[in-house]
Amino acid sequence: MKGGGYGILGNIIIGIIGAVIGGWVFGLLGLGAGGGLIGSIIVAFIGAVILIFLARLIKRA
């Protein structure tokens, strides 16, 4: 995603909340982070991308 980000503290918070959202979404889909550490990182990354996407939609409105 393009953009300047939210600053170091904002990015850390978004990453943590994104990890929780990613775990929740993958849990709803019946998928787990079966790949150990790498799987957990991928789930957290996808959750953070979803959160950033939603934040930008709200910010635009």
Residue 24: its pLDDT value, please? Answer: 85
What is the distance between the alpha carbons of residues 28 and 56, in angstroms, rounded to a whole number?
A: 24
Task: Convert 15-32 to b/e letters by CB count within 10 Å (16 or more is b).
Answer: eeebbebbbeebeeeeee
**pLDDT, tens digit, for every residue of 5-27?**
677 788 788 878 888 888 888 88
Report whether 22 contacts 50 (CB < 8 A).
yes
Q: Look up the pTM and report it.
A: 0.70
Using left for φ > 0, alpha for ψ between -120 and 50, and beta otherwise, residue 16 falls in alpha
